[in-house]
Amino acid sequence: MNKVFDFEQAAIGSIVVGPLQTNVYVIGCKETKEAAIIDAGGNAPGLLQLAETLGFKITKILQTHAHIDHVAALGEIKEATGMPIYLHPADQPLYDAAVEQGKRFGFQLEPLPPVDESLEDGQVIEIGNLKTQVWFLPGHSPGSVAFFFEELKVALSGDVLFAGSIGRVDLPLSDPASMKTSLERLKKDMPDDTLILSGHGPETTMEMERKRNPFLNQDW
């Protein structure tokens, strides 16, 4: 089901794709109509349709990380839009192993198109007149990032933070110790009034997660 989060300067549409019920997003600037896909995880036609319905033109493809359920539609999206793919370089090994990752989940996948741009902590990316800041939050995967839209008070948290939970840290290349550091950073620095849009499950707020998320509040 499509969900749309509406703001004065922006709209964010989301759909749920694939067997792992991954949330993938289109976020666009209402003034310029430029938009980014965040996580081309599946259902490329659905994502492109979503952008069209919102009146947006895709100009960037931003990846929170390179797990198969977040990259599976990159080939089709790249072919349809020709736009640059952004990924943190620490997830390049997972990206390069996409075909093998796919086999484990029963995806038939062609090798992915090359990454065009590196993401790094603190980098600011423009989507039309919108600005998003990259937060490097490794742990779930070595190159996991969140995209923080400070003016909108929205963060797309990938598989780092979920409503009431966090992303798995028992996967190949996961690292529980860096996940703890990443969660401490979120807890310390992400404002309470931030709407959190996760890679899986419902939206939440940072305030809510500070109050109820056991992984932010207890030793584990």
Count of Cβ atoms closer than 10 Å to residue 193 Cβ:
9
Cβ atoms of residues 13 and 55 within 8 Å = no
Minimum CB distance to Zn ion smaller for 14 or for 59 = 14
Residue whose entry in the numeric block shows the structure tokens 């430029």: 34
The C-alpha angle 4, 213, 14, rounded to 5 degrees, equals: 15
Query: Amino acid identity of 19?
Result: P
At its nearest, how many Å lie between Zn ion and the CB of residue 9?
28
The residue count for binding Zn ion (CB under 5 A) is: 4
At its nearest, how many Å lie between Zn ion and the CB of residue 170?
12
Secondary structure of residue 189 in the 3-state scheme: helix
Per-residue binder mask for Zn ion (CB under 5 A), 148-177, x = binder: -----------x------------------
Kindly state whether residue 138 participates in binding Zn ion, applying the rule CB under 5 A. Answer: no
Secondary structure of residue 88 in the 3-state scheme: coil
Question: Which residues lie closer than 8 Å to 43 by C-beta, 6 or more apart?
Answer: 15, 17, 18, 24, 73
Minimum CB distance to Zn ion smaller for 82 or for 106 = 106
Question: Which residues lie closer than 8 Å to 25 by C-beta, 6 or more apart?
Answer: 12, 13, 14, 37, 38, 39, 156, 197
| Helix and strand numbers, DSSP H then E, in the chain | 8, 15
At its nearest, how many Å lie between Zn ion and the CB of residue 166?
11
Per-residue binder mask for Zn ion (CB under 5 A), 183-202, x = binder: ----------------x---
At its nearest, how many Å lie between Zn ion and the CB of residue 141?
6
CB-closest chain residue to Zn ion: 67
At its nearest, how many Å lie between Zn ion and the CB of residue 39?
8
Per-residue binder mask for Zn ion (CB under 5 A), 44-83, x = binder: -----------------------x-x--------------
* Contact positions vs Zn ion (CB under 5 A): 67, 69, 159, 199
